[in-house]
Chain A
Amino acid sequence: MSGSPGIGRDFARRLLRNRLAAAGGAVILFFFLVSALPGLFASHDPNRIDIVNILRPPSAAHPLGTDDLGRDVLARMVHGARVSLKVGFVAVGIATVLGLLVGLLSGFYGGWADAVLMRFVDMMLCFPTFFLILSVIAFLEPSIWNIMAVIGLTGWMGVARLVRAETLSLKERDFVAAARAQGAGDARIIFRHVLPNTLAPILVAATLGVAGAILTESALSFLGIGVQPPTPSWGNILTTGKDNIEYAWWLSVFPGLAILVTVLGYNLLGEGIRDAADPRLKGR
């Protein structure tokens, strides 16, 4: 990041001292572990159908019960964790890269390019995001790849505005003038001098963005237009929960808890990063 290692160490210390942010980080690490080693957390096959044991409540054999096809809910949730993680990170990756490019170009060059790009951002923001996502999905096949692309392509505008604002103020700073005086070209100034200084707010936006993408994916999957069964996702397990709402509470309770805890983890970490990067904003 910017400047000496001392600043980075300061940042890390402030972040770790924030107990809520550390707890958020721990939750995220836990779900990373679950996604990397699903076998460690669930012994059943998430897709093994067992028609003798349909809609069984939690028991020793099935700690979180079974669904309407007799599949183990814990196993499906453990494998669903990977889906959520993948969607969250890929979607936010797309949004961040796009937003960065648009924001840097717009803020750095200003003028005509800025006017066109920012009017485009304004226009994109006029479409209610969830409407836009649903409309695009209606034209495509609902699949995990399309979901990631659509969430990413409809979520970059905030990052673009953020980066543009940062770039506008950064490009007037003395160190940019100094680099310019030493003969640095536009590309070098943008990527070596401006970009690194926008990383902190981008990191915050991306962390909060992962939380948002996971929520959106689960809502889409719940509505049946996201991740398609038999691939397990927290959202589509909840769909079976709604279909069996009168007999099987465990199908509705546990996947939602997993979403809640995960999203809370990313939000807490994101807020923690914000406070650690700029202690003046703390508690706001």
Chain B
Amino acid sequence: MLRYISRRLLLTIPLLVGISLVSFLMMHMAPGGPIGAGTDLNPKATAESRARLKAYYGLDRPLHVQYGRWLGRMATLDFGDSFSPDGRPVVEKIRERIPITLTINVLSMGLIFLVAIPVGVYSAVRKGSLFDRISTVAVFTGFAIPTFWLALLMMILFGVKLGWLPISGISSLDHESLGTLGKIADRGRHLVLPVLLAGFGGLAGMSRYTRSNMLEVIRQDYVATARAKGLPERTVVFRHAMRNALLPVITILGLSVPDLLGGSVIFETIFAIPGMGQLFYQGVMSRDYPLIMGILTIGAFLTLLGNLLADVGYALADPRIRQG
């Protein structure tokens, strides 16, 4: 097991180097280079101050020296200062935005597991039944629905027509004046729609995935054996089939990191939620290059971490993997 993990860790090193190289090159592709947006638009920036800035950021050095510095800064998560008027360090801005994004994604992940796994298992066990057909249609529709459109429809229905739920932000104007319970309830009401939305795409994928794994396992010989020795169908399904069918689901958790991050840009922008996704969107709109590169790099790190956890988790659960 240890050997498997260390081999898996070694494999991530070239990937880390690749990520740093790509982000370094992208930074240099930016119009005007890393300091362009800060100086080109500024009429007060003289040629002399520009040269001083260049020297400060080391842009007068050869490329490989610059890349070395970039590597060093990346290792310490130092992505420089944001171009926005507050000019604060990028990493600080990201750090204060991550918790809310994480909260919403973890909650929606819980929702996905609670709903999708029973649906997938049941449709596989009752393959071809009315329930299976309805859930299959629902899954296909779920794959095809643009999340942002669904968000709009929910905002119209629950926010505008029915007035049940707030459609923007994460707290009401009077949030500070509420008691502890009131604060929790207020925050909860604001999170209902975003969590539903964030989980929606995964719901369809996960229930389909569970269903096809389950179908695969049910055909295996040992399931037939379990049936043949007269075990009740419940035991066969839950003890023998489901346990093995759900093993690969572990990997899905890790592998869905990039999709969740991408999705948070969309729903955080729509619902005006001050998370990392919205920060990224604002960065793109204002061409805040250090911020963009910082979030892109952190996103890649998180994805890499997700892949690693998925592989290790799977190897822990399934001995066949670590042999091979």
Contact pattern, B 14-52, Cβ under 8 Å of A = 1, otherwise 0: 110011001000100111000000000000000000000
Contact B257 A267 (CB under 8 A): no
Say whether B269 faces chain A, with CB atoms less than 8 Å apart: yes
Contact pattern, A 241-265, Cβ under 8 Å of B = 1, otherwise 0: 1100110010011011001110110
In the complex, what residues of A have CB within 8 A of residue B88's CB?
none
A131 with B156, Cβ < 8 A, contacts A119-B18, A120-B18, A264-B141 known: no
Residue of B nearest to A212 (CB): B143
Task: For chain A, give the interface size range.
Answer: 35 or more
A252 with B266, Cβ < 8 A, contacts A120-B18, A127-B296 known: no
Say whether A181 faces chain B, with CB atoms less than 8 Å apart: no
Say whether B287 faces chain A, with CB atoms less than 8 Å apart: yes
Contact A128 B19 (CB under 8 A): no
In the complex, what residues of A have CB within 8 A of residue B258's CB?
125, 127-131
Contact B15 A242 (CB under 8 A): no
Contact pattern, B 252-290, Cβ under 8 Å of A = 1, otherwise 0: 000001110111011001100000000011011101010
Residues 116 to 139 of chain A near chain B (Cβ within 8 Å):
119-120, 122-123, 125-132, 134-139
A220 → chain B, closest Cβ, in Å? 10
Residues 222 to 256 of chain A near chain B (Cβ within 8 Å):
222-225, 238, 241-242, 245-246, 249, 252-253, 255-256
Q: Which of B14, B145, B153, B281 contacts A252 (CB 8 A)?
A: B153
A155 → chain B, closest Cβ, in Å? 13
Contact pattern, A 28-57, Cβ under 8 Å of B = 1, otherwise 0: 000000000000000000000000000000
B253 → chain A, closest Cβ, in Å? 16
A135 with B270, Cβ < 8 A, contacts A126-B19, A256-B153 known: no
Q: Which of A128, A256, A284 contacts B215 (CB 8 A)?
A: A284
B252 → chain A, closest Cβ, in Å? 15
In the complex, what residues of A have CB within 8 A of residue B280's CB?
131, 134
Contact B152 A131 (CB under 8 A): no
Q: Which of B141, B265, B284 contacts A138 (CB 8 A)?
A: B284
Residue of B nearest to A249 (CB): B156
A218 with B299, Cβ < 8 A, contacts A122-B15, A138-B283, A241-B152 known: no
In the complex, what residues of A have CB within 8 A of residue B284's CB?
134-135, 137-138, 225
Say whether B57 faces chain A, with CB atoms less than 8 Å apart: no
In the complex, what residues of A have CB within 8 A of residue B212's CB?
284
Residues 147 to 194 of chain A near chain B (Cβ within 8 Å):
none
B185 → chain A, closest Cβ, in Å? 25
Contact A126 B304 (CB under 8 A): yes
In the complex, what residues of A have CB within 8 A of residue B283's CB?
138
Contact A264 B144 (CB under 8 A): yes
Q: Which of A119, A120, A259, A267 contacts B146 (CB 8 A)?
A: A259
In the complex, what residues of A have CB within 8 A of residue B307's CB?
126
Contact A119 B15 (CB under 8 A): yes
Say whether B239 faces chain A, with CB atoms less than 8 Å apart: no
Alpha-carbon distance A167/B27, docked complex (angstroms): 36
Alpha-carbon distance A132/B295, docked complex (angstroms): 10
A245 with B152, Cβ < 8 A, contacts A128-B303, A130-B262, A267-B144 known: yes
B34 → chain A, closest Cβ, in Å? 12
Say whether A98 faces chain B, with CB atoms less than 8 Å apart: no
Say whether A219 faces chain B, with CB atoms less than 8 Å apart: yes
A-B contact pairs, 28 of them (CB 8 A): A119-B15, A120-B18, A122-B15, A125-B303, A126-B15, A127-B296, A128-B257, A128-B262, A130-B262, A130-B265, A131-B258, A131-B295, A131-B299, A134-B284, A135-B284, A137-B284, A138-B287, A224-B285, A238-B152, A245-B156, A252-B149, A256-B146, A256-B149, A256-B153, A260-B146, A261-B144, A263-B143, A267-B143
5 nearest CB pairs, A to B: A130-B262, A256-B149, A123-B18, A128-B258, A263-B144
> Which A residues are closer than 8 A to B by beta carbons?
119-120, 122-123, 125-132, 134-139, 211, 215, 218-219, 222-225, 238, 241-242, 245-246, 249, 252-253, 255-256, 259-261, 263-264, 267-268, 283-284
> Which B residues are closer than 8 A to A by beta carbons?
14-15, 18-19, 22, 26, 29-31, 127, 140-141, 143-150, 152-153, 155-156, 160, 212, 215-216, 257-259, 261-263, 265-266, 269-270, 280-281, 283-285, 287, 289, 292-293, 295-296, 299-300, 303-304, 307
